[in-house]
Amino acid sequence: MPHRARPAVILAAIAVLPFVWSVATQIAPGLADFGLRFMGPRFLGPYLALGYGGMMLAALSGVLFGLVLRVERPGWLPLALIIPALWAFLFTGGGPVPAALWLGAGYLVALALDWLVWQRGLAPVWWFPLRAAQTAVILPCLIVTAFA
């Protein structure tokens, strides 16, 4: 990855930490107790994975939208890029199991849109590999959230 991508790599790694912490608190009762004592229930288990996951999916939508709007004539593509934000809003209710599964599907949709934007040359060369790596961490965390 190019040197100038280093800040993006660091931020991407930091952005997946809440997903990893969420899983850790779901499978390790001691960590859940620690987290409950010092952070509160909102920062544990499914609450964290689903709340943060929905927010991140919407944020990705905005980032993609911004990348595409840099071109002079983006056409209909920006409209498709609001799909992840709407997805996070519409499909994360109904309890932790369906919400986690729908959210995981939303991250796959976002990854497909990442690829489309990247293939059109509207994102930096390092964009898609970084987003694919992030998604490779997020999806297993959401699967644990659904079935833990």
What span, in angstroms and rounded, lies between the C-alpha atoms of 68 and 62? 10
Question: Residue 5 gets which letter from DSSP?
Answer: G
User: Are 45 and 26 contacting, i.e. CB atoms less than 8 angstroms apart?
Assistant: yes
State mean pLDDT over 113-132. 94
Q: What is the pLDDT of residue 14?
A: 96
CB atoms inside a 10 Å sphere around CB 45: 23
Tens of pLDDT, residue by residue over 50-99, are 999 999 999 999 999 888 888 767 677 787 888 899 888 888 888 899 99
Specify the DSSP element, H or E, that contains 100. helix 96-119
Residue 107, pLDDT above cutoff 80: yes
Does pTM top 0.95 for this prediction? no
Q: What is the pLDDT of residue 94?
A: 84
